[in-house]
Amino acid sequence: MADSLNKPQEIYDRLWSEASLALERGQPDIDPFLSDRKNDLRRSVALAFRPGPAVQSRVEAFLREAAKAAPDQHIYRLDELHVTVLAVIPGSASWQKHLPELPAMRVSIADVLRTRTAFSVAFRGVTASKGGIMIQGFPADDTLAQMRDDLRTAFKQHNFTVDIDRRYKIADAHTTVMRFKRPRSDWSRLLDLLRDNRTTDFGEMRVNMLELILGDWYASAGSVQILEKYPLA
């Protein structure tokens, strides 16, 4: 249990170390697809949950300041914020090849989640990757970690061809709030804002519902379809 609870902080600190250095040098990773969304064919199916209203309200205040510091970047709408529990079909342009397996995947997910209980997540502090900004999420116990492990085990038992950990093995509970869209000559103002909010309290929520969503790479509001909802006991 201790390992699963300490893991998110280790991940966030490592990302921050890399990203802050990239921002200091003026060399963050610019997302090339954000300037040409209509030709971005990447889609994914993910099991996720949404930050609650109280958390969203505090994130909104931070994003107003972020928009002033970095007006040319891609900022997520509040209704686009989400925490990925598992990438059921990881984002790619070839996502459709896995669709024949999706009905069986949905049955497997429902079987795993049928008796699962709600869990709490505290959103505290910001971090960044080289490509964007995230609000840090910290589960209160190992319920989420155990849920992910059981889902991975179920998928392996069914011999699904999809590699759910193809990009990386999810072990935290972050929500992405900004992606870098355009080069800037001076990133110092944004970096100062991030440093000022490294420990900001964005609130805590009880997660009692998971959603299976199909959407584009950014889970944009106009692209997302909710395929299933899974209430937690």
Name the helix (H) or strand (E) containing 53: helix 53-69
For the residues 11-22, what does the mean pLDDT come to?
97
pTM: 0.94
Relative orientation angle of helices 143-157 and 2-24, to the nearest 10 degrees: 90
| Third-level CATH fold of 2-231 | Cyclic Phosphodiesterase; Chain: A, (3.90.1140)
109 confidence band (pLDDT: 50, 70, 90) = very high
Q: How confident is the model at residue 4 (pLDDT cuts 50, 70, 90)?
A: low
Residue 6: pLDDT band with limits 50, 70, 90 = confident
Reference 78, options 166, 176, 151; nearest CA is 176
**Are the beta carbons of 66 and 135 closer than 8 angstroms?**
no
Identify whether the C-beta of residue 47 lies closer than 8 Å to the C-beta of residue 210.
yes
Per cent of the chain over pLDDT 70 is 97
Confidence of residue 161 (pLDDT cuts 50, 70, 90): confident
* Residue showing tokens 């299933």: 228
Q: Calculate the average pLDDT of the chain.
A: 94
pLDDT surpasses 90 at 1: no
Give burial (CB, 10 Å; 0-12/13-18/19+) of 78: middle
Q: Distance (Å, rounded) from C-alpha 81 to C-alpha 59?
A: 10
33, 4, 41: which is closest to 216 by C-alpha?
41
User: What's the mean pLDDT in 130-157?
Assistant: 96
